[in-house]
Structure 1
Amino acid sequence: MKKLLLIAAVALIGTSVVKAQELKFGPKAGYSLSMLKAEGDGESYKFDSKSTFYVGGFVEYKFNDKFGIQGEVLYSPIGGKQEESYTETIMGVTVNATAKTDFKLGSVQVPVSAKYFATESLAFALGLNVGIITSAKTDYTLTGSVDGMGGSASESESGSEDIKDNINTLNLAPFVGAEYTLENGLFFDARYNLGVSNLIKNPEGNETLKNSFFQIGIGFKFGGN
């Protein structure tokens, strides 16, 4: 009788351990707000933010009811936008010039995080996003006009330039985030990724270019109990 009770206890404990250790996986996608910031010679410049997206998959492993780890592979375009205008009037002639630039950086991201489950549904994450820049280019539009002396004229030009050779491949970004999971496996998450890598391959002096981004999205968890 004692042996049967012992076997039952061991089986019960083993079942609890397996239940607590859950492996889940699935797809995720969402909205990303990308921001570029340039610094150098004591000055800083923030580019206009850029709305983009991310898509990929994840694997989550729970050690127990409170702690777990998660790894992901995502694709996400990042970058920023810039617009500069110039106006000057000389001897009754007004010159207007506008330059718009869109920095487009394609990236594969591998976020790895430690997760704390405050409840069965609510989790908080702290981790590192290892980004790999796969492509880099700028799309630009230049517009100029002249008014005065009894007439006016305008001209515009647009094009694209590959800048991959000037951009570093590695883009590291520590992040914090939160996640809420429904009983059916559907979840929502949000993160802030702080870019710490200098994207300029051959900087002059102390100039830097860093990319940070917000992410908010949705996904679905398969597996587990």
Structure 2
Amino acid sequence: MKKLLLSIVIVFGMSNLNAQSFGLKAGVDFASLKSKVESFSVSVSETGFYIGAFADIGVSESFSFQPEVLYVSIDELDQIHIPLMAKFPVTEKLNILAGPALGLLLDSGDGIKSFNYGIEAGAAYDITEKFFIEARYNLGLANLLEDAPNDPSLKMSGFFIGAGYKL
């Protein structure tokens, strides 16, 4: 956990040097937990919310790096979600985002790992210079079950829809 917090501080510390903008964002998360045992699988869906901050670090005219720290609340699965997104402009107002995402489950129970990871992709549309909307999908890759070999598995994914404001 100390390494994860240190990584967050380093990412946002470095982004302070070259950041073109910082901002805040919030929205709805449609999460799903998929449990699989042998050939049998069950999915459970929950709706929650997210709120957090981001930095937009310009690397070139056609690419920027957007690290984020989000608090995601989904029933009993609250987590700190850390997407590390590559941002590519498609048009002046439309951007494609993709990258890895890390997560720290805050209230994992017995037999559940607290560290989550996956890949995330989506799009953001600038309504004004400061205000944007976004939609993303996070595909959970981590098996959240403690001491489980390949089978059984428990994975968490989510679809995010929200809005943000660049400070």
Superposed pair shares fold, TM > 0.5: yes
The Cα shift of 1:198 comes to 0.6
Matched residue, 2:22? 25
Take 1:50 and 1:66, find their aligned partners in 2: how far apart are those partners?
A: 36
**Distance in 1 of aligned mates of 2:125 and 2:150:** 44
Unaligned runs of 5+ in 2: 1-17
For residues 61 and 125 of structure 2, the distance between their equivalents in structure 1, rounded to whole angstroms, comes to 15
- Are 1:113 and 2:85 an aligned pair? yes
Who wins on radius of gyration, i.e. which is larger? 1
Taking structure 1 as the reference length, the TM-score comes to: 0.63
For residues 191 and 204 of structure 1, the distance between their equivalents in structure 2, rounded to whole angstroms, comes to: 30
Which residue of 133, 143, 149 maps to 1:198? 143
1:166 aligned counterpart, secondary structure: coil
* Cα offset, 1:203, TM superposition: 2.7
Shift of 1:78: 3.4
> Does the 8 Å CA contact 2:30/2:159 hold for their aligned counterparts?
yes
Do the aligned residues in 2 keep the contact of 1:125 with 1:177 (CA within 8 Å)? yes
State the alpha-carbon separation in 1 of the partners of residues 60 and 127 from structure 2. Answer: 19
| CA offset digits 1:157-192 (Å, max 9, x no partner) | xxxxxxx23110111120111001133310001100
Q: Residue 72 of structure 2: which of 70, 76, 84 is its match?
A: 76
**Distance in 1 of aligned mates of 2:90 and 2:57:** 16
> In the aligned structure 1, how far is the partner of 2:92 from the partner of 2:100?
24
| Residue 39 (structure 1) aligned to one of 36, 40, 56 | 36
> SS of the residue aligned with 1:135?
coil
The answer to whether the 8 Å contact 1:65/1:120 transfers is no
Shift of 1:214: 0.2
**TM-score of the two chains, using structure 2 as the length reference:** 0.84
Out of 34, 48, 51, which is 2:47 matched to?
51
- The structural deviation recorded for 1:77 is 2.1
Is 2:104 the counterpart of 1:132?
yes
Root-mean-square deviation (Å): 1.7
- Does the 8 A contact of 1:31 with 1:53 survive in 2? yes
Asked whether the equivalents of residues 31 and 46 of structure 2 are also in contact (C-alpha less than 8 Å), the reply is yes
* CA positional deviation for 1:41: 1.9
Give the aligned length: 150
Native 8 Å contact 2:19 2:55 kept in 1: no
Superposition misfits of 4+ residues, deviation over 2 angstroms: 202-205
Aligned mates of 1:25, 1:120 — CA distance in 2: 19
- CA–CA distance in 2 between the matches of 1:23 and 1:134? 31
Contact kept? 2:23, 2:166, Cα under 8 Å = yes
